[in-house]
Structure 1
Amino acid sequence: MSKNGTKISLNTWGASFRLSDLSSTREHSFTLEPDAAQMKSLREDLGLLGLKKLRFEGSFIPASKHDWQLKAKLGATVSQACVATLEPVTTRVDVIVERLYTSDFNDPALATAENESEIEVPKDDTVEPIPVSLTLLDVASEALVLALPDYPRASDAELPETLFTQQGTDAMTDEDTKPFASLKSLRDKLEKGD
């Protein structure tokens, strides 16, 4: 129940709530598991080939009278296109998600600086201002996107070697770019001269 008597459900996929409506005298646990339609929508939003076994569970723990610590675990199995072959690559994602929602947040990007190069990037990216409302779906989606491989690659994927050169000359190969390749070439020319 919230302070004003309305029930707050943290276990509803996509529902928004206000942290200020949670009782600051106890921990609030949640478990989110989307149904097939919600899973399909999220898969399409994230541009994934496949998404299954998604579970986001954790707790909001009072950090002070107004601040909240989120400690959660996100698990999912995703399929992405291989960057080399476009074949599906399946990855299991299991990540810990931690956030501190605080009323004392000072955003360095909003600080007045004469030069943009003076703006400092915060060292702790888990600290955020208390939002007007929070949607756990957004937190789970962000954590999932950050955990995905940037360049998924199938274990047997190999890029074919492509050679480009001017007409009448030999193409430079990967072997030629290795250290001592020019010495090898010189040795080969000297041996042909014998």
Structure 2
Amino acid sequence: MLPDEAPEFPRPLPLGTVREGGRRLTLTATPEECRALAARFGILSLESLAAELRLTPEEEGTTRAEGRIAAQLTQACIVTLEPVPQAVDEPVAFRLLPPGREPQDGPDDIDEIECPDGIADLGEAVAEQLALALDPYPRIPGAEMPDEATDRSADAFAALAALRKN
């Protein structure tokens, strides 16, 4: 999503409302929000999207979010362009950062989301997690790439190696 665009699935949450002991939230996208997200992700349809999140305050004002996202969607097969129905059911974990806190980008760190005004958009965070869970190469059963579309670079290098031996 570009900074000037309104989010398709807005669920703002002031970080200060997550008190000691935590908070549980259920987020469910409306049919209109699902259509807008499908258009954004370039998929045929998003029939449903829901998230169950447990928010827990941490030291230094951060908030940890853990839970699951579930979605029913349809993508186009990369070979035939036929519809490929899919179900997503994934665990998610991310950290919400208060104003002034910079994200850590370590390889083992969970995703960190900046909240410069102290308000987290949980809907956008869930949408981003869904985007990461989408199958990058959806295929219907039995769909095979045509021979001319396969990578034959390894064959070319083998042929060069054989020439070098001669």
Q: Check whether TM > 0.5.
A: yes
Give the aligned residue type for 1:15: R
TM-score for both structures, normalised by structure 1: 0.63
* Alignment match of 1:84 (pick from 76, 79, 86): 79
Shift of 1:65: 5.6
Give the direction of change, closer, same or farther, for the CA distance of 1:43–1:69 in structure 2 (3 Å limit).
Answer: same
Secondary structure in structure 2 of the residue aligned to 1:151? coil
Instruction: Give me the whole-angstrom Cα distance separating, in 2, the residues matched to 1:92 and 1:129.
Output: 26
Shift of 1:130: 4.5
CA contact (8 A) 1:74 1:93 kept: yes
Give the direction of change, closer, same or farther, for the CA distance of 1:127–1:141 in structure 2 (3 Å limit).
Answer: closer
Structure 1 residues 40-79: aligned runs within 5 Å: 40-64=35-59, 66-79=61-74
Secondary structure in structure 2 of the residue aligned to 1:42? helix
RCO greater where, 1 or 2, for CA within 8 Å and sep 6 or more? 2
Instruction: Give me the whole-angstrom Cα distance separating, in 1, the residues matched to 2:88 and 2:70.
Output: 5
TM-score for both structures, normalised by structure 2: 0.72
Secondary structure in structure 2 of the residue aligned to 1:45? helix
Shift of 1:135: 0.8
Instruction: Give me the whole-angstrom Cα distance separating, in 2, the residues matched to 1:95 and 1:60.
Output: 17
Give the direction of change, closer, same or farther, for the CA distance of 1:106–1:139 in structure 2 (3 Å limit).
Answer: closer
Q: In angstroms, what is the RMSD of aligned CA positions?
A: 2.8
* Alignment match of 1:17 (pick from 7, 13, 17): 13
Give the direction of change, closer, same or farther, for the CA distance of 1:107–1:26 in structure 2 (3 Å limit).
Answer: closer
Instruction: Give me the whole-angstrom Cα distance separating, in 1, the residues matched to 2:71 and 2:113.
Output: 27
> Per-residue CA shift, 1:114-161, capped at 9, x if unaligned?
xxxxxxx52134142641221111111111110111111111212334
Give the direction of change, closer, same or farther, for the CA distance of 1:25–1:150 in structure 2 (3 Å limit).
Answer: same
CA contact (8 A) 2:12 2:120 kept: yes
Shift of 1:24: 2.7
Secondary structure in structure 1 of the residue aligned to 2:39? helix
Give the direction of change, closer, same or farther, for the CA distance of 1:83–1:139 in structure 2 (3 Å limit).
Answer: same
Secondary structure in structure 2 of the residue aligned to 1:78? strand
Instruction: Give me the whole-angstrom Cα distance separating, in 2, the residues matched to 1:52 and 1:134.
Output: 25
Q: Residue 122 of structure 1 corresponds to which residue in structure 2?
A: 106
Give the direction of change, closer, same or farther, for the CA distance of 1:76–1:129 in structure 2 (3 Å limit).
Answer: closer
CA contact (8 A) 2:18 2:56 kept: no
* Greater C-alpha Rg: 1
CA contact (8 A) 2:66 2:93 kept: yes
Instruction: Give me the whole-angstrom Cα distance separating, in 2, the residues matched to 1:102 and 1:96.
Output: 20
Give the aligned residue type for 2:33: Q
**Within the alignment, does 1:146 sit opposite 2:141 as a pair?**
no
Give the aligned residue type for 1:89: V
**Within the alignment, does 1:93 sit opposite 2:79 as a pair?**
no
Shift of 1:98: 0.5
> Per-residue CA shift, 1:46-67, capped at 9, x if unaligned?
1111212321111111122612
